[in-house]
Structure 1
Amino acid sequence: MGKEFVIDIMTYVLTIIGILNPFGNVPLFMTLTKDQNPEIRKKMYNAIVISGFGIVTGFIVAGDFFMNYLYKIGMNELRVAGGMILVVVAFRNLLGLGASKESSGNVMSEKDAIRYAITPLTFPMLVGPGTISTVMIIHKEAGLIISVGAVAVTFLIMKFLFSISDWLDKVLGEVVLFVLSRVMQIFIMSAGVKLVSNGIKGIFLG
C-alpha cells in the first residue's frame, strides 16, 4: 500500500511538472527579477513557492465551489482573464513600465516585489488555467491526500531550483539574463494572447 501510494504521487508529480514547467520557469523568473538585490529576490522566490502551493491547494479543496456555485465561472473565463493579465504585464515590461513608482530604475520595494511575485509571476504565469484544471482533475481521480501530496512535492522541487538560482545566475551571466528577459516578454505576451483566444473560442463555441 505504501509503495503504491508513493508511485501514485510521483506519477501525478510528473503530470503537474509537465504543466508547471519549473525547469523552464525558474530561469525565466531569474531574468524577470535580475534587477532586484539578492535578499529581495529570495523573498520573491519564497513568495512564488508559498503562494503557488496555496493557490493550487485552494483550488483542489474549494475550486468547484468557487467557480461553479459562488462566481459561476468556467475555465474559459479564467483563461481570458489570465491571458489579459499576461499581455498587459509583458507589454509594460517591454516598454520599461514595470518598475515601482516609488523606486528608482527597475528596483522594487520589498512590498512591491512580493506583490509582483504573486501577480503575475505566480498567477497566471506559473499557476494558470491549465494547472488549475489539471489538479482539479487529479483530485477527482486520486483524492485529496494524493493530489495535495503531489502538489507539495512539485513545489519542493521548484524550491530547490530557486535555491540554486545564484549559481545559475553566475553561469548564465548578466548580459544573457538581460537578453532572455526581453525575449521572454514576447513569449509571455504570446502565451497571454493564446489564453485569451482559446478562452473566447471556448465561450462562444462551447
Structure 2
Amino acid sequence: MEYVIQIFINAMTMIAILNPFGNVPLFIGLTEDMGKITRKKLFKVIVITGFAIMATFALIGSFMMHSFFRVEMKEVKIAGGIILVVVALKNLLFNEKHKKKNEPQEELTEEEEIKQGIIPMAFPMLVGPGSLAGVLLISQEAGGISSVLSCVVVFVITHLMFSVTDIIEKIFGELVLFVLSRVMQLFIMAVGIKTIISGVTMVVQGIGG
C-alpha cells in the first residue's frame, strides 16, 4: 500500500511540473487551424510521445545524457528554450491567418500537421527540461519502475485534460480563444527565454566553479 501511495505522490509532483492544465489553452491556440479530428489525433500522439520521453528518462535518462550523448541538463535547457522562442515568434509574426487571401498557401496533409505539432508541443512544451530533470530525480529516489508507473498516472490525467478541449472552446468561443492564443505566445516566448537564461546561468556557474 505504501508503494502505491508513493507512486501517486510522485505522480502529483510530476503533474505540478508538467502543468497539463496550463498547457490546454496553449495547445488550443497552437492547433486553432486544425480540424477537430486531426487535433484529437495530434493530442493523442503528444500524450504517447510525452509518456515515451518521460518513461525513457526515468529508466535510462542519466545514462543516455552522460554516457551516450555526453550532454548535461544545461545544454538541454538552452536547446529547449531556443525552440520555444522560435515557435512563439513564428506563430506571432507569421501566422497563417495573417496571410493575404490571394497568397498561395501550402495545404498540409493530416500526417504532416501531426508531425509538425509533435515539436514543440510534446517537447519542449509538455515535457521540457524541468520535467526531465524532475523525473531523473524521482527515478534516483524511487527507482525506475516506480517512476514509470507514476508517468502512467500522469499521462492518463493529461489525456483526460486534452480530451475536453472541444468543451473549453464551446465555453469561451472562437474570438476569446484567438485573443488568448496570441497572448499565450508571449508567455511561451517568456518561458523559452527563462529556460535559456537558466541554462546559460548553469554554464557560467560551471565555468566559475
Letter in 1 for 2:64: F
Q: Which amino acid aligns with 2:7?
A: I
Aligned CA-pair RMSD: 1.4
TM-score in terms of structure 2 length: 0.91
Offset, 1:97: 4.6
Structure 1 equivalent of residue 106 of structure 2: 102
Aligned to 1:78: 76
Give the counterpart of 1:4 among 2, 5, 10.
2
Structure 1 length-normalised TM: 0.92
What does the per-residue CA deviation read over 1:141-169, in whole Å, with 9 as the maximum and x for residues that have no partner? 11122101111101000111112211111
Partner residue, 1:144: 144
State the shift of 1:98 in Å: 6.5
Pair 1:186-2:196 in alignment? no
- Give distance in 2, aligned partners of 1:135 and 1:4: 20
Q: Secondary structure at the match of 1:63?
A: helix
Which whole-Å CA distance do the structure 2 matches of 1:102 and 1:126 have between them? 27
What does the per-residue CA deviation read over 1:127-185, in whole Å, with 9 as the maximum and x for residues that have no partner?
11100010011111111221011111010001111122111110111011101110000
Give the number of aligned pairs: 199
Number of the residue aligned with 2:42: 44
Alignment map for 1:14-25 (pairs within 5 Å) = 14-25=12-23
The corresponding residue for 1:202 is 202
**Per-residue CA distance 1:69-100 (angstroms, 9 max, x = gap):** 1121100000000000001010000012579x
Whole-angstrom CA distance in 2 between matches of 1:186 and 1:27: 13
Residues 94 and 185 in structure 1, CA contact (< 8 A), matched pair in contact too: yes
Match of 1:33 in 2: 31
SS at 2:203's partner residue?
Answer: helix
Instruction: Indicate if the aligned counterparts of 1:89 and 1:98 stay in contact, CA closer than 8 A.
Output: no
Structure 1: 5+ residue runs without aligned partners?
none
Show the counterpart of 1:88: 86
Query: 1:201 Cα shift?
Result: 1.1
Which residue pairs with 1:54 in the alignment? 52
Partner Cα separation in structure 1 for residue 57 and residue 95 of structure 2: 32
Structure 2: runs of 5+ lacking an equivalent = 98-104
**Identical amino acids, percent of aligned pairs:** 47
Q: Which amino acid aligns with 1:139?
A: S
